[in-house]
Amino acid sequence: MLIFMVGCVSCLIIIFTIVNLALATESTFTYIPLEDEEVFSVSLYASFNSWNEWPMEKKPDGTWSITLDLEPGEHQYKFFINGKGLQDMSTARAGGPVDPNAVGYIYDGFGGQNAIYRIKEEATEGVVLVHNSDDPAYLCIADERLVIRLKTSSYQVAKVFLVTDEGKWAMDRQLQWEYGEVFRLSLKLSDSLKYRFIGYTIDGTEFSLPEDPSQSFFFDGIDHFPQLKWVSQGIIYQVFPERFYNGNSENDLLALKSDEFHYNQQCAQNKLWAKEGPSLANWNAPISPQHCCHQYFGGDLVGIIQKLDYLKDLGVTVLYLNPIFDSGSIHGYDTHDYLEVSPKFGTKEDLGELFNEAHKRGMRVILDFVPNHTGLGFWAFQDVVRNGEDSPYWDWYFIHKWPFSPGDPNAYKTWWGVGSLPILNTDNPEVKEYLFKIVRHWLNFGADGWRVDVPNEIVKAKEFFNEMRQLVKMEKEDAYLLAEIWQLDSSWVKGDQFDSLMNYALGRDILLNFAKGSIDGENTLANLSHYFSTYGENVTAMGFNLVSSHDTGRILTDLGGGNFGNLPQPKAVERLILLSTLLYSLPGAPVIFQGDERGILGEKEFYDSHRYPIQWDTADESIISHYKKLAQLRQKIPALTSSVIR
């Protein structure tokens, strides 16, 4: 088979000389209810549908299923039963797995397990050649050079040359994995360039792309997707503010006044909640049952300011802060007011000082933006609670019934069935206008970029983030836009939405598994090749390359280092040294989750331990020293901050 993809400035022509490529495989997903389980609806949410809802059909035997055509690869998915997601798809149901077609399970980032469905890619007959000049994976500007790439089937092509009006250049074989490889060439920038490919297969057959010698691909000389050097050359540190450092104890009690407890009427049905409510603990107090979201320890913005020199000494150049706006929990993803700093964290003046002090030290600051849902205390939602359909904000949400008890997940559309997180109608122009006002406001106040929470769940996401990117880049041209997307997915980083994804697909799926010994070196190299072939080099250069975060376990615990409160096992520390060295060596910005550099352990369970406050009088100094040395090496060796991988 020979596939030619002939790209013009805005079009793509596909010519099949032999049409026999099966691009998709029929795949069925099945849910088997428990005996006596009352099921009204079942929906499929998956990585291949951007985690949107696809209703499943009830069969005569009482099971629910959906059949789809899916491309080869590994797909994650989860079932929603009666509108609520199954937290752990690995839980046995009706004498077997939730879905008999699942081949495994993977941590979902929210305390549960997604199921995995795998379709093996079949080897194709003949040679495959792919180039798309509209896709940065094939044509982009990275490190101020024009990068041109051609994808081919593996072990089929001997040589490839790039031909322009100025001459002919041999392309390098850059990446290779089981089913594909990439040939690459970088050139000095020019005003414009017409180019084509010629080459030879391993049996000596000559080919050209485009096939017609009168046709060419075209580069217009414009950088449509600029690389942000401050990200490419940076080291990022994630701060979970409530658990980082308490710099001002006078605001500690304010956390209790704004907690979700005061708005969530469902709390009265929880005996523990009704008895205790939210609590304030000493910095080294034991974990309580409310620890996940409502046991406060007092971390704040002043505390971050006081630790800036520590972070500077660690080599950090970028801070990413979890939500700092007024909210009803320790995590802040249940916003009450996007225009106000949470009183438990401090004031706008404190935030302004943090921006100023960070910028003085050459550091940038990225804030966390949650446009998909609000908290129960958000002023617009409270107006709906009081006034129902008479509220001017009724259409800001998806209300199923009124009156209702705030916290009831059946009364309105919620994030994954969590009653305290009502979903915003981002297709409503008023909601969009409000959210975009927030984005502009904090950029003008001093923020250097946005990390966006669950962007795949936004209504009409592509349209929303296309608009958001335009306004962000107009306000601050070099602002960074980061998407919380967990899987390998280049559709978000084509130059019209985000600059990077949170690269769990690199840090956890590849590097962590290698360091754990779950994948050998040969397969790791192949996985890295596939990963770096998926994105443009300008994109991977701006990569947010993390292994752990507030949504995952602690690295050292994942590496077998032991549990919360103990000293890490030496073997796990060795694995961490290997893993962090790899992370600092690859294109993109390495990311440290607060405390990982100090050797902190967690638990395999969710949240309770790995978000525990940093104990500043305890640390593994050898690990801190290692991270400092890695930062120094990145400063001294240009290759370590290059966009190129070979």
Among residues 484, 551, 596, 603, the one annotated as catalytic is: 484
Q: How far is CA 644 from the centre of its chain?
A: 22
Task: Establish if 94 belongs to a structural domain.
Answer: yes
Task: Establish if 627 belongs to a structural domain.
Answer: no
pLDDT recorded at residue 485: 94
Active-site annotation holds for 125: no
Overall size of the chain counted in residues: 646
pLDDT recorded at residue 10: 28
Q: Identify whether residues 48 and 158 lie together within a single domain.
A: no
Domain end: 70, 92, 119, which one?
A: 119
Domain that holds residue 132: 3-21+123-224
Q: Identify whether residues 146 and 77 lie together within a single domain.
A: no
Q: Identify whether residues 83 and 54 lie together within a single domain.
A: yes
Given a contact cutoff of 8 angstroms between Cβ atoms, the answer to whether 39 and 82 are in contact is yes
- Cis amide prior to 278 (ω within 30 degrees): no
Task: Establish if 463 belongs to a structural domain.
Answer: no
Active-site annotation holds for 484: yes
Separation between Cα atoms, residue 437 and residue 369, nearest integer Å: 12
Q: Identify whether residues 17 and 150 lie together within a single domain.
A: yes
CATH number at residue 137: 2.60.40.10
Separation between Cα atoms, residue 507 and residue 504, nearest integer Å: 5
Residues of the chain with pLDDT under 50: 1-22
Domain end: 66, 87, 119, which one?
A: 119
Tally the domains of the chain: 2
Task: Establish if 190 belongs to a structural domain.
Answer: yes
Domain end: 86, 119, 152, which one?
A: 119
Task: Establish if 550 belongs to a structural domain.
Answer: no
Task: Establish if 47 belongs to a structural domain.
Answer: yes
Separation between Cα atoms, residue 493 and residue 231, nearest integer Å: 15
Q: Identify whether residues 42 and 115 lie together within a single domain.
A: yes
Q: Identify whether residues 45 and 127 lie together within a single domain.
A: no
Output b/e per residue, 55-89; b: 16+ Cβ within 10 A: ebebeeeebbbbebebeeebbbbbbbbebebbeeb
Given a contact cutoff of 8 angstroms between Cβ atoms, the answer to whether 91 and 31 are in contact is no
Separation between Cα atoms, residue 29 and residue 354, nearest integer Å: 49
The tally of CA atoms less than 13 A away on the side-chain side of residue 121 is 14
pLDDT recorded at residue 94: 53
Q: Identify whether residues 128 and 107 lie together within a single domain.
A: no
pLDDT recorded at residue 120: 74
Separation between Cα atoms, residue 311 and residue 207, nearest integer Å: 54
Task: Establish if 199 belongs to a structural domain.
Answer: yes
Mean pLDDT for all residues in the chain: 90
Closest CA to 474 of 427, 501, 436, 428: 436
Separation between Cα atoms, residue 191 and residue 181, nearest integer Å: 29
Task: Establish if 392 belongs to a structural domain.
Answer: no
Q: Identify whether residues 194 and 59 lie together within a single domain.
A: no
Separation between Cα atoms, residue 85 and residue 427, nearest integer Å: 23
Q: Identify whether residues 97 and 150 lie together within a single domain.
A: no
Separation between Cα atoms, residue 112 and residue 16, nearest integer Å: 44
pLDDT recorded at residue 606: 55
Q: Identify whether residues 13 and 146 lie together within a single domain.
A: yes
Among residues 453, 457, 499, 596, the one annotated as catalytic is: 453
pLDDT recorded at residue 103: 82
Q: Identify whether residues 57 and 130 lie together within a single domain.
A: no
Given a contact cutoff of 8 angstroms between Cβ atoms, the answer to whether 278 and 294 are in contact is yes
- Cis amide prior to 587 (ω within 30 degrees): no
Q: Identify whether residues 168 and 196 lie together within a single domain.
A: yes
Other Cβ atoms within 10 Å of 212 Cβ, number: 12
DSSP strand pairing (364-369 vs 318-321): parallel
pLDDT recorded at residue 95: 52
Q: Widest CA span of the chain, in angstroms?
A: 79
Phi, psi angles (nearest 5°) of residue 30: -130, 135
